[in-house]
Structure 1
Amino acid sequence: MKYTVEVTIEASRDRVVAAFDDPANLKHWMPGLLSFEPISGTPGQVGAKARLKFDMGGRQMEMIETITERNLPETFSGTYDANGVHNIVRNRFEPVGENQTRWVAENEFIFAGFMMKVMGWLMPGAFRKQSLKYLEAFKAFVETGKPAAG
């Protein structure tokens, strides 16, 4: 399953990328994030791995992030592996004007196991909706400086 989500943020690309590139900010725009723990490599650099733990409506979920491309301020890509799901995300940060930036996130999900394949087939909108929720929360965080509500 593949889809693209995007938001236009009222801030310069430098400001957007600085906020995106700081792991301390994750909790401000990823509602449900419980922890972000580097596990190998140099954090933020290609090849680095980190463990992210989430509370998704009372259900605990853990995923491993692997950074596959870092060409900031233009692009940043990674993979996210959770139980039965491999997610590839390609992020682009495009200046729209002096104080506007478009964040485009191309997502590809590869499902393993019967149940995850069925879920991906039955509920593709849920994955897109969650991705867009994070982009919109990030936009609000950058524009207002206030954390997203859970």
Structure 2
Amino acid sequence: MRYDWTPLWRSTIGFDRLFDVLDEVQRTADETYPPYNIERVDENRFQISVALAGFSSYEVALTVEQNVLTLEGRKGEKDEKTFLHRGISTRSFKRQFTLADHVEVKGARFENGLLLIELQREIPEAMKPRRIAITGAGPGKVSQIEAKAA
């Protein structure tokens, strides 16, 4: 079931990104492989941990294009092994993450069967909040607009 967020657009300002994210979550709700975590390391650093047991670094591709981080995995040659039970999935996959503005991928590494992707938000100086001086009549000063008697 899909929800239409259009009525909420009329009464909100600056929350358009929130509705885009909600729509994205709704679209990808059925995608469950490979499992992953997203962790906030500190205010401007994040880490995505993806469980990739059975994959090696040359079987995984990580790309970033226009605020979309794409992770693709494709197993190389097929094993000629006979399995009595196969619980570790090695199927091909493609998972995409939408990155917020000014978030950059700083690196990726395999560690204990997890692919760890390091992200950092780097807000340009021009985008950071700054205090604006307000000029005008100070306290105790009263200015009067000139008016002519009718």
User: Normalized against structure 2, the TM-score is what?
Assistant: 0.28
Which one has a larger percent helix, Structure 1 or Structure 2? 1
User: Normalized against structure 1, the TM-score is what?
Assistant: 0.28
Q: Flag the structure with larger Rg.
A: 2
Higher relative contact order (CA 8 A, sep 6+): 1
